[in-house]
Structure formats: structure tokens, C-alpha cells
Structure 1
């Protein structure tokens, strides 16, 4: 098979090639200055487009929509000042301000429908009710934490501004800083920072949000502060933070491709500085040139950022992806356009009675996990590994009523492969021997699906019709799963999910009208986009390709099964019988099912 490195798609915001120095004193504490309102998406350094202002609409409904879109969005130090521009003088005291900027958090909500407006009374006051879904809390460290509020609607009261013609002002409002998920999408470009796994052999992504209005020269400082502050809460069990007590001494500076970061770091030996250098190179993908790492003002390491990224890949090398499906109880290759094709890497004797499968490449080895039916129509897990074609398999001793599609955890240790699978409503770990051991989980409802990320230390779970993410630690072959975090979604009765990008999932479930659909959602639930609607039947299998190999499949490629028929999205179409390769004569004519990718 042809081998190529996966080209990791990072969602960093591009900075100018040269950033001016900040002019910060040599030994000052890190300063975070307030700034103006957020800019429209695509603008740089807060210009040229501007967000809505209080005078942009004199209609109560659109006025509140603008308030949720623009008032609190932007750099947190000026959030209250921006919000008060929308509030009448007599009502400003109702909004109790946080004294420290680090305490300022934004409640992100999704509008379920257009605001309901009560017509103005004789005094010219009106009332606007907004029905919402709580999405999360945007913290000062750029993380979107799970929602803490449970309100499903908010009520605002408004009056005409004085003098006449001056628009509207809010006279009563919730005592919380609110922004809509549309504001998050427009004014907070996503960034990815990285933490090492427990044995410091693999980088694990951590999604953050940075205000678009933040001046360019401060963005590097903010990323450094995020790294020293540690991982997101849900990700912490699967990664290793910097040593306790690590903090920036002053703001990062840079000009003409030469950058400087000054830190306090206990135990800052050469090994720790090398690991930090790789983290910084990948967390700042827009930077080129050199970066000087200083510890307590002493020059300790100079990093060529581009060379560092080239020498230490964020993810392991992999194959160009190939598509497969299950046809008449066996895994078969698919022929889709000019995409790469490969033969089934299994011995024919093992490729029988297959319901679903997960295949993965680790170096020159193939990992194979097959869900098969036995003589009693029960299901078992059959696991094998080795150079292709894999011929030796071990089968689980216990039979189950229903087993979901397995997932391999892409560990660097090919001698101790491990994976996860949902069986009869519970989550199990499996290894190369085929033995399955229960993984305890604090989630309600039966677990019906699990999917592992490209880095191998994050999983998505479907349990009780809801979507969860969790961190995974693999230590000496022992797999432990952190506390799952439930994601807020527009879909209900979720049936399947998989990773479609570094920080994005595809999920299948029902929309508000109960029609089955497939959506894309970020790993924190902050951004959700419909991909395919009106599917017509429940999605029972969903597989995606999260990479983007050079010359390979397009990004965001996925396939799914509904009503015992397989589909793909690139281009959107049914997977036809004639696209299934290597079907032996005499096979039963049927529909392709359980499609998946091998890479």
C-alpha cells in the first residue's frame, strides 16, 4: 500500500508574518488590556467591519438578537462596558459586575426560535421573550465548559431611548452575560493547543476560542497562558500538563520571525523544554522563524518553529484512506471514483459472518476487530493483528445480543493494541487476545456506540440517546476512561457518532420534527451544523475520516448506513452494488452495509 503522512488540519487563526514588539518592561507581570468591540468574522485586529450597535435596530426582536450577538462578545475586560451600552441608566445596577477579568464568564445560548415580542403599551415599553438551549460557559481561558444554567427562556423589557429616535434600551434583563452561539461562531475563531499524553509520546488536541478583536501582538501571549494554565477539565485525565508553578513572566514578544517567551518553570531540564517547544510549535501554526525559550530571563532553548513541526508530527504517519463495506457477510473494498483502493487485509477464512468491522494500520501491522455472528445468531468479537493478510484471530468467549462497531485506540505501542466496543448496552475494552473487560462509566442509559479520535486519547460515546466525549489514558496496555462530558446538541435520540476532523464529530439522530438527520458538532458542543437532513430512517452505522491525507479523500468525508443501505457524502449518493469489488461468484445479491475507512 502507498504510505503518506497525514496532513493535520489545524484550525488556528493566521497572524501577520511579523508582529510588532509589545514594549512590555523586562520583568513585568503579564498584562491583559481591554479592547474595543469584537469585529466581524474575517476582520483582523478589530477592523474593518463592526458588529451591531444599540442603534442598529428600533424593533424589539431584532434589537435583542443584536444584543445577544454583539453586546458581551469580544475581549472580556470590556464586556460589561459594551453590555451597558444596550441598557437604560436606571437598570444598569441590576447587572452585578465581576471584579476580576479572570472571573468573567459568558453564558452561550442557542436561540430555538425567533424572539417573541409583546406589543408596546401606552408608555412605549415592550417585552421580549427568547427561548434558548443552554450551550455552555465560555471561560477566560478560552474553554467552553458545560452549561451551568438551566433556563429555557429569558425575558427582556425595553423602552424607547431619549431623545426620540434614539432607538431602544433594556430596562430589565437577566443578571448574566449572554451571547448567542452565532456570536461564538462569528467573533471567536477556534484555536487548538496541545498537551502530551501520559507517557509524553503523543500530542492531544485541546479546543479553545480567542476573541477576534484581540490585537495580534497579544495572541501569542494568550496561547502561552493557556498552555501554562493546563488542559480543559474533561481532557485532563488523558493528558499531562506543564509542571505545577509554570507561568509566563511577561508578555511574549516578536518581530521579523523572531519570538521570545519567558517563563517560570520548576524543573526546567532539557527534556521538558524540548517537549514544550513541540507544544508551542503546534499551538502556534501560523508562526515561522525562531522562538527563544527563556526560563527566569535566561536563554535556554532556541526553536526553529517550522523545523520543529516537521521533525515532530502531531499525529503518526498513515495510509491514504480506503473505503470498505460489508457485503453478504464479508468485508469488501469499495470503488468510488479515483480514490485509493486496496484489497481486504484479511485471510479469506477469517472474512466470514461479518456484521461490522474496524481495521487500522499501525506501522506495518494491521489491526482487525470484527463483529461476527455465531451459529446461534448471537454476536461475538473476533480480533487479530499482524502483517497483512491477518490470518490468526481470537474470538471473545462470551456471546452478546448486539455489538456495536468497534474502534481501535491508535496507541504508539503496536505490541499492546487496545480498543473499545459497545455490547449489550455497556462499554468494553478489548485487546489482541479477544478478551473483553467492562469499562465502568457514570452515564445514564445504554451505551450503543463508541468512536476513537485520530490521536487515540479521546473518544465519543452515544449513551441513552445522548452524545458524550471523554479522555482516554492508555498506560502499559491498561485503558482508563475519564468522566464523560455530555454535549448539548440540536439532535435527540442520537444513534451513532464518529470523528470527522481534529476537533469535530459527525452524529446521527432526530431533529426537532423527529426526522433523522446527520449533523457536525465541535468536541465541546459550541458549534453545530446540519450536514444531511430528511434521511428517512434511523442511521445505524456512521463512519468518518478525520484526517485529510495529501491526495486522499476530501476533508469531512463520512459514510453511513440507514435502512440496511450504505451511503456516502462525497459525493452524496447511495453506495451501489456494482461499486463493491472482489465479490466472488455465487454471492447473495444484497445491499452494501456497515461502511468504514481503513487508514
Structure 2
């Protein structure tokens, strides 16, 4: 055999070894520290992880396995102890997981599924799935019955162990809340430059690894639900040079590379992404490096207080108190007086209205003899008619403007419960409607309400009485609402109104006495119900905004509350029934 052949053989062998090791590391969960292991080491569990109780019955083994699956530390070691020796070595659960209700059943399989061998058992895990955690660590609500078949075999020592562990983890809602932490990871709206929270869930322990987990999520890009709706200044080329770790002088080091060609403006946006994403998992200064040097020249360490206010354009100013419609007029929530101009004087028979986030524009749905029509114009002045779009129009909602001194050029409404339209301002100052592709939302049911998030990235809609959230994906000449998700379908039936309390929190009003008003995150993982005390059903309207009290309308008038646990107080300007309050947006 020639020396060339030997060298080629050695090269091929080395290459194969590298590929095998790379494949093994690719399946190591992010919860553990990656290291190369041999076949004998796979499935080895630390002595600190207790084995199941001796002589535990089959149903107990399965139930405890489900609860232990919520603990990801040590390559899911807490759950792995419930497996037989072969499965302990081979089990590599996917990153996603099913989250089920806290109350679930475990029963023996019957009929043809019942094993003939007395040393084997099949157990059915039955419950109700609340949702799943995707591979991007984002929660996706998927309400449906859940069933899992688990096979067990009695071992030589007489203990029952699982021999077919599920490829996807299944954990209860309570266990998930105890072991996983919700963190917002930040990207940017397409226009304006507003930071947008993208909710993710990471293992809460060990706490020292949280910053690294968050940076990994940030570098991986937006979740599937926001893909195409936000922009990521970090891009696809940014990588970590080393681990995210504390430094000797107390800063948190984020060593990046792949950013050498970015503009100074892009670097500032990247700093904002990283610092804001880390602010919930560390109080340290953030030291962001690019190829070993400060990412932004002359500024090495960052704190959240040093960032510009990227949300200024997407939150109503404190000097805009909000408005209400009453008896065909628009009035101020501050003093109850009609606003200036024909919209306040009664010249228009106002059915519903929306004030732009900056406060300088108004959109009105006006009742006419033939139905309704839309008016859009300057606040306090004449408000020109756009055109009669249909027989019914939902309350309008504004897209944010592109700059601090710019007017908004886009307002949305729903026509006849089916078609969502965005009305665009032309260069000549006129307004023209354009359809929005909302096929997936319309398929859920008639659309009776629609609110754009104040950053313009998401919509909250009421379709068929259900609360739906979708992302707004824009191209050069069209807009599509994608990835619609129904939130808390069981707890929030008969939804009548909704508004954005923050960029990632909604407040909804329903006709249900058990939950007249509720607050929930944009992914719908949980729900917090406001007290029903003092309210007189039905609740007909709700409005909310950042750093504002929630205002609702019921059969007696307007009521306000700052937090979920507060008792509703009469609004100072409550005029009685039929008023509809609204904050800018």
C-alpha cells in the first residue's frame, strides 16, 4: 500500500470521526455543557439525581416521569432515571415540548394494546394540551385533547422502567411555570425603529446560564410567529466568539464577531437588541465586543438607561388623556368636554373613532342613511370622507408614524365582518383603501373588532367571538396577516372588545360574567382575570395603553382599574351608558 493511500485513509478516517462527533454534539440540549462522550458514558446520570422510589407501581412511574420531564438540567437526568438502561443511553428528546393541563390521567391500555407478556405494560397518559413550546422556545397555543402511549417493562431487579420514552417532552402547566422563565427577546419593527418583544421561554436554572441562553435566542433570530414581521439588525452572520460570562470587574461580556461591515447606526440598534434582551436576566453592565474591540467606538459597557427611547413613537404621550364617543360626538376622557371641530360638535354622527398615536389625526366611522362611511383627517378640523366601504365598519386603528414629527399614513378597519382594509394616504393627501390578506383569520369567523399593536407588528382581532393574534408581514405592495393564533379559547368565549396594554400584553372584554375583563400575554400562555366587583354586565368596551389605567364600559357607565387585583372605580367622567372609551392607537 502506497504512502499516499495511507495518508488518504487517515484523512478519511479523521473526517468521519469529526462528522460523527459533530452529529453527536448537534443533539446535545442547550441546557447542558457540550462535551464529547463515548458510548459507555451515554446515559450516565449523576449520583445527585435520585432513582425512582423502590417498587413504584407502573402508573406512579409514568406520572413521576411526566413531572420530572420539566427539569432539563443534566440532559434531562431527572426524567432519564425512569428509563431502562438502553433508553437512558439513546433518548434524545427534541427541543420542543407539549404543555398539558395540570390534571391528567394515567390508565392501563386495554384490548389489543394490552401486552400479553405480564412483564410488560402500556400506560395511556390522557389530558388536555394547552399548547406547545416550539424549537424556537416560543409558546404556541394549541388547545386539543392529548394522549400518549408509554410502554414499560419489568427489569431484572423487579423495577418497572419506561422502554419507549416520547421524542417530545410532555409537562404540565404548573411544572412548566416552576422550571421555565419567560424572557422577551427584542427585534425591531419594520418602521418606525421601535423595539418589539418576542416572548420566549428558557430553563430557569442554573441562573448563571440565563444570559447565554438569551443571547443564543437573539442570534437565532425571531420566532416563527414573527418571522417576516420584524427586522433583525444582528443578521445571520453574527456569532459568539466565546461564552457569555461575567468579567472580573463585574460586567457581563458578550463577545461577538461577524459585525465588521455594519454601519454605526446598525451597531447602535444591535446594542439596543442585546442590552434590552438581557435586562430581565442580569443587573450587570453589558460589555458588547466585536472581534475583541468595543462594538461602538468609545462606549464599552452599556446599561438599559443609556439607550435611546425606541418606544417613544409607539406609546401615547402623557398629555393625550384619551377620548370617548357618546351620542354621536367625540369627547375628552379628561374633562368630558367635546373635542374641537365638527367631530365634537355633532356635525358627524360618530359611531366609533380612533385617534392617532401622536394625537394629531382622527379616523371616524360615521353613521349614514345607507349604513356607515369612513372619515380620516386632522384632529380638531374637518375630517374628509374616504368612501363608503361597506355596510359595517369596525372601530378604526392606526399604524404608528415613521418619525417624531410625521403624521401616520395608514389606518385599518374591517368591512362587513370579512375584509380587513388599510386606508393609505396618497402623496396628494387623499386616502385610498387597500385590502389586507387576512384569509386565515376570516376562516375562524366574522371579524367584529381589530386593533393594530402600537408598534404596527401584530394585530389583535375578534373572530367568531374568539381572541386572535397574528403578525403583520409587509412586502413592497401588500400586507398579509400570518401565523394567527387563538388565545385562551375556553376561558375567553364571547369576546366583545380588545386593546393593547403594552406591546406584548392584551386586555380583553367579554360578555361572560365569570371573566368580564381579562389580561393576557400576546402568546396566550396564561390569563389573569380582573375582578367583576362593581361592574354591571354586560361589559361592552375596553381600552388600555402603556402606563395607563384600564377603562371599561358597562351598562352603567365607565369604570377604571390600574391592576388586576383592584376593585373597579367609577371613571371621573363617566356619562352613563353607551359611552365607548379609547386611548390613542
Q: TM-score, normalised by structure 1?
A: 0.72
The correspondence of residues 275-290 of structure 1 with structure 2, limited to 5 A, is: 275-285=269-279, 287=282, 290=285
What do the CA deviations read for 1:437-485 (whole angstroms, capped 9, x no partner)?
A: 3212121132222112232322212223433323335789x77234132
- Residues 159 and 517 (structure 1), Cα distance of their counterparts in 2 relative to 1, 3 Å cut: farther
Superposed displacement of residue 146, structure 1: 5.8
Equivalent pair of 2:204/2:210 in contact (CA under 8 Å): no
- Which residue in the other structure is 1:461 paired with? 461
Superposed displacement of residue 58, structure 1: 7.4
Equivalent pair of 1:379/1:403 in contact (CA under 8 Å): yes
CA–CA distance in 1 between the matches of 2:238 and 2:29? 17
SS at match of 2:407: coil
Superposed displacement of residue 132, structure 1: 0.6
What do the CA deviations read for 1:288-338 (whole angstroms, capped 9, x no partner)?
A: 66544333334443344237644344443642263543322223334xxxx
CA–CA distance in 2 between the matches of 1:52 and 1:451? 51
CA–CA distance in 1 between the matches of 2:561 and 2:176? 27
- Residues 458 and 244 (structure 1), Cα distance of their counterparts in 2 relative to 1, 3 Å cut: same
CA–CA distance in 2 between the matches of 1:95 and 1:562? 60
CA–CA distance in 2 between the matches of 1:404 and 1:564? 23
CA–CA distance in 2 between the matches of 1:62 and 1:322? 57
RMSD (Å), alpha carbons: 4.4
- Residues 110 and 366 (structure 1), Cα distance of their counterparts in 2 relative to 1, 3 Å cut: farther
Equivalent pair of 1:206/1:235 in contact (CA under 8 Å): yes
- Residues 493 and 190 (structure 1), Cα distance of their counterparts in 2 relative to 1, 3 Å cut: same
The correspondence of residues 351-370 of structure 1 with structure 2, limited to 5 A, is: 351-352=345-346, 353-362=349-358, 365-370=359-364
What do the CA deviations read for 1:173-215 (whole angstroms, capped 9, x no partner)?
A: 7553112222332222211121123357222221111211134
CA–CA distance in 2 between the matches of 1:322 and 1:344? 13
Corresponding pairs, count: 513
Aligned: 1:240 with 2:231: yes
- Which residue in the other structure is 1:193 paired with? 185
What do the CA deviations read for 1:225-250 (whole angstroms, capped 9, x no partner)?
A: 22221111221222112233222121
Aligned: 1:396 with 2:382: no
- Which residue in the other structure is 1:319 paired with? 317
- Residues 145 and 98 (structure 1), Cα distance of their counterparts in 2 relative to 1, 3 Å cut: farther
Equivalent pair of 2:365/2:374 in contact (CA under 8 Å): yes
Alignment gaps of 5+ in structure 1: 1-28, 36-49, 335-339, 582-589
- Residues 116 and 222 (structure 1), Cα distance of their counterparts in 2 relative to 1, 3 Å cut: closer
Aligned: 1:408 with 2:398: yes
SS at match of 2:217: helix
What do the CA deviations read for 1:139-180 (whole angstroms, capped 9, x no partner)?
A: 2x4322465x9653345678999999x9x8667775531122
Alignment gaps of 5+ in structure 2: 1-25, 34-47
- Which residue in the other structure is 1:131 paired with? 127
Residue number among 365, 368, 372 corresponding to 1:379 in the alignment: 372
- Which residue in the other structure is 2:506 paired with? 505
Equivalent pair of 1:332/1:580 in contact (CA under 8 Å): no
CA–CA distance in 1 between the matches of 2:192 and 2:343? 40
What do the CA deviations read for 1:84-117 (whole angstroms, capped 9, x no partner)?
A: 2344x38x74997338xxx522222234x55366
CA–CA distance in 2 between the matches of 1:381 and 1:95? 65
Superposed displacement of residue 60, structure 1: 8.5
SS at match of 2:530: strand
- Residues 290 and 418 (structure 1), Cα distance of their counterparts in 2 relative to 1, 3 Å cut: same
Residue number among 374, 391, 410 corresponding to 1:418 in the alignment: 410
CA–CA distance in 1 between the matches of 2:63 and 2:329? 53
SS at match of 2:132: strand
Q: Which has the higher helix share?
A: 2
Equivalent pair of 2:189/2:456 in contact (CA under 8 Å): no
- Residues 392 and 213 (structure 1), Cα distance of their counterparts in 2 relative to 1, 3 Å cut: same
- Residues 573 and 144 (structure 1), Cα distance of their counterparts in 2 relative to 1, 3 Å cut: closer
Greater Rg over alpha carbons, structure: 2
- Which residue in the other structure is 1:260 paired with? 253
- Residues 481 and 367 (structure 1), Cα distance of their counterparts in 2 relative to 1, 3 Å cut: farther
- Which residue in the other structure is 1:305 paired with? 302
CA–CA distance in 2 between the matches of 1:145 and 1:134? 9
CA–CA distance in 1 between the matches of 2:51 and 2:451? 43
- Which residue in the other structure is 2:9 paired with? none
Equivalent pair of 2:189/2:455 in contact (CA under 8 Å): no
